[in-house]
Structure 1
């Protein structure tokens, strides 16, 4: 198959859109023909996340169906992407992170003989059930990728331990920091609030049953203090009734998924964050917002090593104790409220784009 010389960027979810938007802009700044494909895994949210960056999708596969299982989505995504790649004939396919769309993109590309660039490569929890299916997806993508753009030195160590050649790995920082910095520049000045803001984000598949009542119960108890506001954007994958205890709290505000600029503004204004999200751990660490990770473990140890995050698991009592300490102990809060550059310095997309630029031009160079 003769290549068209383009770079195909595959995006499935809102986090992928946020993290890949800076790369799309960086590729286009180097005048590399770049195409953006949405799989539709997050039907509206991914396109909405691209909009503040001035990026529109070139293709939307609209793959989601009611009640669709992960295996059904994977099968349909691989098939639809295979047809798209046969038609578009890109020189490279770029996937990000650990979603079903990223895995399907890597499979379809390698089956078509197209090299794969994996952005945010090398993250590991070393437990295939946590997070699920993300840990499975990212370890499989590592076997398929041609270039591995690791966000941190620790991620590179993980890849090397799995046998990935050093020449195929580049430590770049995480592109989420690029997106964060770009968005912060355009935000209006913050308005002082009467109460301290606790920003919460919850969506992990493995948390939605037994853990969610514990986490929501802890957040409701915190909101009842009267001196804080709890802000929680609802995730479309979570059953609406799961939030009921928090909905009854006057000091809690449950909102639809927030546009990325509004979310960044809330994050920057937050006194602390309670989250099971990977990306939010990174964004909060870059801003120096103390973060409590309501999971058993994190594949982003750098945020814990930087002192900006603490893994507190999902038990109500443990969450409540950790939040109370950060609200009532100024010194404990101060120790965690230090911005870190371990996740990235805001130039990751530029580094990735330059490497892809060099790879494309090397491929076009006639043999000596």
Structure 2
């Protein structure tokens, strides 16, 4: 039976990246939907949101600038935004409209948990895109593993990206849909239709380079790891150009360690701030290999078949592992072997036979 309405609760740009293809599919079927932004990231300004609906957000619960950059600050923001959401969402849409409708959440952020539990409070059905991923370690990745487990408890429509994720939901309540692949495959395909806007990235295309990304707090807190990885990246840059993405926490850490100037002044290193998604996909696709600690990067690179070293000890994602993706598991020998033999990890790109986003949109409408 078709639901009375579809709502997307989105907290971060990473969530938006994987949900906008579902919105595009709903638009293609002429199915209306609403967007609620928690404000964990400022998605209202995102160029990605312009693709499905011109950047319109129905309700924004907070601003990213409201969040103090600390774990305590995030929890304070969560409590304040939860309280606001309890009142603002029904006031804006009407309690009768919410009851029986579907709230779509994505992934593993604190906003995912917030959206799911607010929806349950309003008598909505919760649909979880990218459901079932598990590291089976509550503290790694933290808090993502906990967020996923908590979210799944109130989900009744689980969209699992593959057999392993589906198997993890064998005891879950409600309907489990195996989409085979992640919606990031749809996002990547769409990005290939968008021309490159960043002149620095456009200029890099065609020349050999590798990409280095380290931005997770647990890695940046490990100063020995930061020094060791930066040393290897700079050494490799002597023979192949390095593009290093300086997320704000990365920049702050390097500044505190007295290493930022070294990065900025080293020949054959291009240091870029966080790059807009569509251009970042072009940067990754043009790279010889990528060293990153981003889970979504692991997925994207698995679809590209690009050699990838993932700087994690545990991962809830199996994408590419044992094929194009190597996990370093706290071994610098693994890092050195990967850099020396990265061509061995090249694989053909993966092209899904059916769009995961289309499967999700169809299920949202019909189930």
Partner of 1:32: 31
Three-state SS of the structure 2 residue aligned to 1:233 is strand
Residues 136-167 of structure 1: CA distance to partner in whole angstroms, max 9, x if unpaired?
A: 1011111111100001111000111xx114x6
Contact 2:166 2:178 survives alignment (8 Å):
yes
Contact 1:187 1:265 in 2 (8 A): no
Which residue among 174, 179, 187 is the counterpart of 1:179?
A: 187
CA shift at 1:338, angstroms? 2.6
Matched position secondary structure for 2:169: helix
Matches within 5 A, 1:202-221: 202-210=214-222, 213-215=224-226, 217-221=228-232
The answer to whether the aligner puts 1:252 opposite 2:272 as a matched pair is no
User: How far 1:198 moved relative to its partner?
Assistant: 1.2
Check the 8 A contact 1:303/1:309 in 2, yes or no. yes
Unpaired segments ≥5 residues, structure 2: none
Q: Give TM-score scaled by structure 1 length.
A: 0.85
Q: Give the secondary-structure state (helix, strand or coil) at the position aligned to 2:49.
A: helix
Q: 2:89 aligns with which of 68, 85, 89?
A: 85
Does residue 168 in structure 1 map to residue 188 in structure 2?
Answer: no
Cα deviation digits, residues 62-82 of structure 1 (max 9, x gap): 243224523223222322332
Extract unaligned runs of 5+ from structure 1. Answer: 327-332, 360-368
1:197 is matched with 209
Q: Structure 2 residue aligned with 1:294, among 301, 311, 329?
A: 311
Q: Distance in 2 between matches of 1:23 and 1:303?
A: 24
Q: 1:215 to 1:49 in 2, by over 3 A?
A: farther
Residue deviations 1:166-189 (CA, integer Å, cap 9, x gap): x61001121111010011123369
Q: Is the 8 A contact 2:117 2:154 kept in 1?
A: yes
Output the CA distance in 2 between the equivalents of 1:314 and 1:232. 21
| Match of residue 330 from structure 1 | none
Between stretches 221-230 and 178-187, larger displacement belongs to 221-230
Q: Residues 146 and 193 of structure 1: is their aligned pair in 2 closer, same or farther, counting only changes over 3 Å?
A: closer
**Aligned residues between the structures:** 344
Give TM-score, length-normalised by structure 2: 0.85
Q: Mean alpha-carbon deviation: is it higher for 80-89 or for 268-277? A: 80-89
Q: Deviations over 1:248-269 (max 9, x none)?
A: 4222222121111110110110
CA distance in 2 between counterparts of 1:237 and 1:54 reads 31
CA distance in 2, matches of 1:100, 1:35: 20
Task: Say whether the 8 Å CA contact 1:85–1:109 is kept in structure 2.
Answer: no
